[in-house]
Protein backbone atom coordinates (compact mmCIF):
# COMPACT_ATOMS: atom_id res chain seq x y z
CA UNK A 1 0.00 0.00 0.00
CA UNK A 2 1.41 3.28 -1.00
CA UNK A 3 2.10 5.71 1.80
CA UNK A 4 -0.26 8.60 1.98
CA UNK A 5 1.32 11.45 0.18
CA UNK A 6 3.06 13.63 2.73
CA UNK A 7 3.95 17.21 2.56
CA UNK A 8 7.56 17.44 1.55
CA UNK A 9 9.63 17.60 4.72
CA UNK A 10 11.22 20.96 5.22
CA UNK A 11 14.77 20.58 4.03
CA UNK A 12 17.51 20.78 6.67
CA UNK A 13 18.08 24.38 7.65
CA UNK A 14 21.41 24.80 5.87
CA UNK A 15 20.20 23.51 2.57
CA UNK A 16 16.94 25.34 2.75
CA UNK A 17 18.70 28.56 3.48
CA UNK A 18 20.94 27.98 0.53
CA UNK A 19 17.90 27.55 -1.64
CA UNK A 20 16.30 30.60 -0.09
CA UNK A 21 19.30 32.90 -0.49
CA UNK A 22 18.49 34.37 -3.86
CA UNK A 23 14.92 35.03 -2.81
CA UNK A 24 15.96 36.71 0.41
CA UNK A 25 18.41 38.85 -1.48
CA UNK A 26 15.77 39.81 -4.01
CA UNK A 27 13.38 40.73 -1.24
CA UNK A 28 15.93 42.88 0.49
CA UNK A 29 16.98 44.46 -2.77
CA UNK A 30 13.43 45.25 -3.78
CA UNK A 31 12.77 47.00 -0.50
CA UNK A 32 15.89 49.08 -0.69
CA UNK A 33 15.71 49.90 -4.36
CA UNK A 34 12.14 51.07 -3.91
CA UNK A 35 12.94 53.08 -0.83
CA UNK A 36 16.15 54.76 -1.95
CA UNK A 37 16.46 54.25 -5.65
CA UNK A 38 18.99 52.16 -7.52
CA UNK A 39 22.08 54.33 -7.19
CA UNK A 40 21.59 55.27 -3.57
CA UNK A 41 21.24 51.62 -2.54
CA UNK A 42 24.48 49.95 -1.53
CA UNK A 43 24.91 46.29 -2.26
CA UNK A 44 26.39 45.83 1.18
CA UNK A 45 23.17 47.07 2.68
CA UNK A 46 21.19 44.64 0.57
CA UNK A 47 23.40 41.78 1.68
CA UNK A 48 23.21 42.83 5.31
CA UNK A 49 19.42 42.99 5.21
CA UNK A 50 19.36 39.51 3.70
CA UNK A 51 21.66 38.34 6.46
CA UNK A 52 24.62 37.45 4.27
CA UNK A 53 27.94 39.00 3.44
CA UNK A 54 28.65 41.22 0.53
CA UNK A 55 30.66 38.52 -1.20
CA UNK A 56 27.77 36.10 -1.06
CA UNK A 57 25.54 38.45 -2.97
CA UNK A 58 27.97 38.37 -5.86
CA UNK A 59 27.84 34.60 -5.76
CA UNK A 60 24.23 34.77 -6.86
CA UNK A 61 24.17 37.92 -8.94
CA UNK A 62 27.11 38.88 -11.09
CA UNK A 63 26.63 42.59 -10.61
CA UNK A 64 24.45 45.20 -8.98
CA UNK A 65 22.79 45.82 -12.30
CA UNK A 66 21.99 42.15 -12.71
CA UNK A 67 20.56 42.12 -9.23
CA UNK A 68 18.35 45.02 -10.19
CA UNK A 69 17.15 43.32 -13.33
CA UNK A 70 16.47 40.13 -11.44
CA UNK A 71 14.48 42.06 -8.88
CA UNK A 72 12.29 43.48 -11.58
CA UNK A 73 11.90 40.23 -13.47
CA UNK A 74 11.13 38.19 -10.40
CA UNK A 75 8.61 40.66 -9.09
CA UNK A 76 6.59 40.80 -12.24
CA UNK A 77 3.61 38.63 -11.58
CA UNK A 78 2.69 38.05 -15.19
CA UNK A 79 -0.67 36.52 -14.33
CA UNK A 80 -2.41 38.29 -17.13
CA UNK A 81 -3.43 35.22 -19.15
CA UNK A 82 -5.11 33.78 -16.12
CA UNK A 83 -6.67 37.12 -15.36
CA UNK A 84 -7.83 37.45 -18.93
CA UNK A 85 -9.33 33.97 -18.87
CA UNK A 86 -11.30 34.78 -15.73
CA UNK A 87 -12.75 37.79 -17.42
CA UNK A 88 -13.73 35.87 -20.50
CA UNK A 89 -15.86 33.60 -18.38
CA UNK A 90 -17.37 36.40 -16.35
CA UNK A 91 -21.10 36.78 -16.94
CA UNK A 92 -22.01 39.73 -14.75
CA UNK A 93 -22.10 43.35 -15.70
CA UNK A 94 -18.99 45.02 -17.01
CA UNK A 95 -19.18 47.46 -14.13
CA UNK A 96 -18.96 44.58 -11.75
CA UNK A 97 -16.11 43.20 -13.78
CA UNK A 98 -14.17 46.43 -13.41
CA UNK A 99 -14.85 46.45 -9.71
CA UNK A 100 -13.39 42.98 -9.51
CA UNK A 101 -10.40 44.09 -11.53
CA UNK A 102 -9.66 46.95 -9.16
CA UNK A 103 -10.10 44.79 -6.12
CA UNK A 104 -7.97 41.94 -7.32
CA UNK A 105 -5.29 44.34 -8.52
CA UNK A 106 -5.21 45.74 -5.04
CA UNK A 107 -5.01 42.34 -3.42
CA UNK A 108 -2.47 40.82 -5.76
CA UNK A 109 -0.32 43.79 -6.52
CA UNK A 110 -1.28 47.07 -4.95
CA UNK A 111 -0.99 45.98 -1.36
CA UNK A 112 1.97 43.69 -1.94
CA UNK A 113 5.66 44.31 -2.37
CA UNK A 114 5.16 44.00 -6.12
CA UNK A 115 3.76 47.50 -6.17
CA UNK A 116 7.24 48.74 -5.49
CA UNK A 117 8.23 47.74 -9.00
CA UNK A 118 5.91 50.36 -10.39
CA UNK A 119 7.63 53.06 -8.42
CA UNK A 120 10.98 51.65 -9.41
CA UNK A 121 10.13 51.73 -13.08
CA UNK A 122 8.86 55.27 -12.88
CA UNK A 123 11.97 56.46 -11.08
CA UNK A 124 14.63 54.52 -12.92
CA UNK A 125 13.13 54.75 -16.38
CA UNK A 126 15.87 57.12 -17.46
CA UNK A 127 18.66 54.93 -16.16
CA UNK A 128 17.44 51.52 -17.32
CA UNK A 129 15.54 52.02 -20.56
CA UNK A 130 15.99 48.40 -21.49
CA UNK A 131 14.52 46.90 -18.36
CA UNK A 132 11.72 49.42 -18.39
CA UNK A 133 10.85 48.34 -21.91
CA UNK A 134 10.76 44.79 -20.66
CA UNK A 135 8.39 45.93 -17.93
CA UNK A 136 6.29 47.74 -20.46
CA UNK A 137 6.09 44.62 -22.57
CA UNK A 138 5.35 42.29 -19.68
CA UNK A 139 3.12 44.46 -17.55
CA UNK A 140 1.87 47.63 -19.09
CA UNK A 141 0.93 46.20 -22.47
CA UNK A 142 -1.07 43.21 -21.19
CA UNK A 143 -2.65 45.24 -18.43
CA UNK A 144 -3.84 47.86 -20.86
CA UNK A 145 -5.05 45.18 -23.26
CA UNK A 146 -7.03 43.61 -20.47
CA UNK A 147 -8.70 46.84 -19.50
CA UNK A 148 -9.31 47.70 -23.09
CA UNK A 149 -11.20 44.46 -23.60
CA UNK A 150 -13.30 45.14 -20.56
CA UNK A 151 -14.18 48.60 -21.78
CA UNK A 152 -15.00 47.25 -25.24
CA UNK A 153 -17.29 44.73 -23.63
CA UNK A 154 -19.07 47.51 -21.78
CA UNK A 155 -19.41 49.63 -24.86
CA UNK A 156 -20.64 46.69 -26.91
CA UNK A 157 -23.28 45.86 -24.35
CA UNK A 158 -24.41 49.44 -24.10
CA UNK A 159 -23.45 49.74 -20.48
CA UNK A 160 -20.80 52.31 -21.27
CA UNK A 161 -21.01 55.27 -23.51
CA UNK A 162 -18.85 55.54 -26.56
CA UNK A 163 -15.34 56.68 -25.70
CA UNK A 164 -11.88 56.98 -27.12
CA UNK A 165 -10.49 53.76 -25.73
CA UNK A 166 -6.90 54.91 -25.51
CA UNK A 167 -7.78 57.64 -23.06
CA UNK A 168 -10.42 55.63 -21.30
CA UNK A 169 -7.88 52.96 -20.41
CA UNK A 170 -5.62 55.61 -18.90
CA UNK A 171 -8.59 56.81 -16.92
CA UNK A 172 -8.90 53.38 -15.40
CA UNK A 173 -5.20 53.04 -14.78
CA UNK A 174 -4.44 56.47 -13.34
CA UNK A 175 -6.06 55.93 -9.92
CA UNK A 176 -4.16 52.66 -9.45
CA UNK A 177 -0.91 54.38 -10.30
CA UNK A 178 -1.74 57.14 -7.88
CA UNK A 179 -2.61 54.66 -5.16
CA UNK A 180 0.72 52.96 -5.69
CA UNK A 181 2.53 56.23 -5.24
CA UNK A 182 0.67 57.07 -2.08
CA UNK A 183 1.97 53.87 -0.58
CA UNK A 184 5.61 54.54 -1.39
CA UNK A 185 5.83 58.32 -1.14
CA UNK A 186 2.85 59.40 0.90
CA UNK A 187 4.33 62.73 1.84
CA UNK A 188 4.72 63.68 -1.81
CA UNK A 189 1.11 62.72 -2.59
CA UNK A 190 -1.07 63.69 0.28
CA UNK A 191 -1.56 66.71 2.48
CA UNK A 192 -0.08 66.81 5.91
CA UNK A 193 -2.11 64.90 8.45
CA UNK A 194 -4.35 63.19 5.95
CA UNK A 195 -5.53 59.80 6.99
CA UNK A 196 -5.91 57.64 4.00
CA UNK A 197 -7.47 54.22 3.64
CA UNK A 198 -6.44 52.42 0.48
CA UNK A 199 -9.46 50.15 0.44
CA UNK A 200 -11.79 53.12 0.81
CA UNK A 201 -9.92 54.82 -1.97
CA UNK A 202 -10.44 51.79 -4.21
CA UNK A 203 -14.15 51.78 -3.41
CA UNK A 204 -14.47 55.47 -4.01
CA UNK A 205 -12.65 55.23 -7.30
CA UNK A 206 -14.72 52.45 -8.72
CA UNK A 207 -17.88 54.36 -7.87
CA UNK A 208 -16.53 57.46 -9.51
CA UNK A 209 -15.31 55.46 -12.47
CA UNK A 210 -18.68 53.90 -13.12
CA UNK A 211 -20.61 57.10 -12.79
CA UNK A 212 -18.28 58.62 -15.23
CA UNK A 213 -18.62 55.80 -17.66
CA UNK A 214 -22.32 55.24 -17.56
CA UNK A 215 -23.97 55.89 -20.87
CA UNK A 216 -27.48 56.78 -19.95
CA UNK A 217 -28.03 60.04 -18.23
CA UNK A 218 -26.03 63.07 -19.17
CA UNK A 219 -27.80 64.66 -22.08
CA UNK A 220 -24.87 66.97 -22.68
CA UNK A 221 -21.31 66.48 -21.68
CA UNK A 222 -21.14 69.96 -20.27
CA UNK A 223 -24.15 70.10 -18.08
CA UNK A 224 -23.33 73.44 -16.45
CA UNK A 225 -22.85 75.95 -19.17
Partner DNA sequence: GATGAATGAGTGTTCATTCAT
Partner DNA sequence: TATGAATGAACACTCATTCAT
Tell which positions 27-46 bind DNA, by CB under 7 A. 41-44
User: At its nearest, how many Å lie between a copy of itself and the CB of residue 46?
Assistant: 15
Only one of the segments 22-30, 49-57, 73-81, 117-125 lies at the binding site for a copy of itself (rule: CB under 8 A); that segment is 117-125
- For DNA, the closer CB: 15 or 85: 15
Rounded to 10 deg, the angle between the 165-184 and 198-213 helix axes is 170
Q: Which of 29, 46, 52, 121 binds a copy of itself (CB under 8 A)?
A: 121
Give the closest residue to 33 by CA, choosing from 122, 158, 104.
Answer: 122
- 206 and 99 Cβ atoms separated by less than 8 Å: yes
Q: How far apart, in whole angstroms, are the C-alpha atoms of residue 83 and residue 144?
A: 12
Q: Which of 21, 69, 149, 183 binds DNA (CB under 7 A)?
A: 21
Give the closest residue to 172 by CA, choosing from 93, 92, 89, 95.
Answer: 95
Q: Which of 53, 112, 127, 199 binds DNA (CB under 7 A)?
A: 53
User: At its nearest, how many Å lie between a copy of itself and the CB of residue 70?
Assistant: 18
- For DNA, the closer CB: 59 or 122: 59
- 129 and 136 Cβ atoms separated by less than 8 Å: no
Q: From residue 62 to residue 101, what is the string marking binding to a copy of itself with x (rule CB under 8 A)?
A: ------------------------------xxxxx-----
Q: What is the DSSP string of 100-157?
A: HHHHHHIIIIITSTTHHHHHHHHHHTTT-HHHHHHHIIIIIHHHHHHHHHHHHHHHHH
- Under the criterion CB under 8 A, does residue 47 sit at the interface with a copy of itself? no
The residues binding DNA (CB under 7 A) are 12-15, 17-18, 21, 41-44, 52-56, 58-59, 62-65
Amino acid sequence: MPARPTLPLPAPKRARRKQARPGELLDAALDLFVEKGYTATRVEEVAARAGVSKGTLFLYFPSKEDLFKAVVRESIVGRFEEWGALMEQFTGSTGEMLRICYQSWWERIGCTRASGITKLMLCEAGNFPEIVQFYQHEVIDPAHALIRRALERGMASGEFRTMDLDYAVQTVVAPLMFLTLTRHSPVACMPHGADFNPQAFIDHQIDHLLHGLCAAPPPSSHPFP
